[in-house]
Amino acid sequence: MILDQFRITDRVAIVTGGSKGIGRGIARAFAEAGADVTIASRNPADLEATAAAIRKDTGRRVLAVPCDVNDRAQLEAVVDATWKEFGRIDLLVNNAGGTPPRPALRTSEKMFEAAFHFNVTSAFLLSRMVIPKMLEGGGGAILNISSGMSWLVDKGFVAYGTAKAALAHMTRLLAFEMAPRVRVNAIAVGAIATDALLPFLEAMPEARAKLEAGTPMHRIGTPEDIAAAAVYLCSPAGGWVTGKVFEVDGGTVASNWPLELPSV
């Protein structure tokens, strides 16, 4: 049965930024597909609530590990805790990231480098930590959450867009080097109805209307839209796919950011 190819039964996954939004959606989808999951994020209360809900709804084991991905020691703690709890690591989703929009001439060197570290360096470090563990188990899959702004252009996104473009190409480079035993792919996401975006859109209905109008599918994406692609890319169904950046963005071909940001 073709649907069996989408099962990841008894695999073990780590999902950063796993307590909310896209990360929570992916963690839940992985558990529904049969995996045990470690979720990591900076908010212990949100982590525990998400873990408890996924355990209750799916019956899978879910480990919650507080972690700021900017701290190397905390990344190591996530890997160690996962290995101790489950004895294997098969899948990694580098989802934690993000940088607020800011005009280029008001983006300091410190801000620019912080955006790169948060979105790229942390994903590289965690990947480097888990790949040896994956190889002990016969292989694995890594998924990086990039953004449509990695190739689209708009004012205010020089730090974020540059970092996500680097993450996308790091995906290709790691995939080439790690093949065939570890597959590495990315998803370039569009506008997704997350806990961060929804309050902004609810407060500014005109911005939501403009965002939807600028999306060919005429709606904002959901975490489940991204989770479905994540299951494909990390399951045997995607077993012949590596080094690719999937655009899951409602067909967006130009920036649909609904606010005009200043250049300075």
The Cβ-side half-sphere exposure at 260, using a 13 Å CA radius, reads 0
Selecting among 30, 86, 157, 160, the annotated active-site residue is: 160
Burial of 169 (0-12, 13-18, 19+ CB in 10 A): middle
C-alpha angle with apex 19: 234 to 178, nearest 5 degrees?
A: 30
- Rounded Cα distance between 98 and 126, Å, is 17
> If you compute the radius of gyration of the chain from its CA atoms, what whole number of angstroms results?
18
- Active site (annotated) includes residue 232: no
What backbone phi and psi angles, to 5 degrees, belong to 134?
A: -60, -40
For 157, 208, 232, 244, the CA distances from 100, given in Å and listed in that order, are: 8, 18, 30, 26
CA-wise closest residue to 38 among 79, 72, 98: 79
Contact, 185 vs 171, CB < 8 A? yes
Phi, psi of 192 (to 5 degrees): -120, 140
Q: Which residues are catalytic?
A: 160
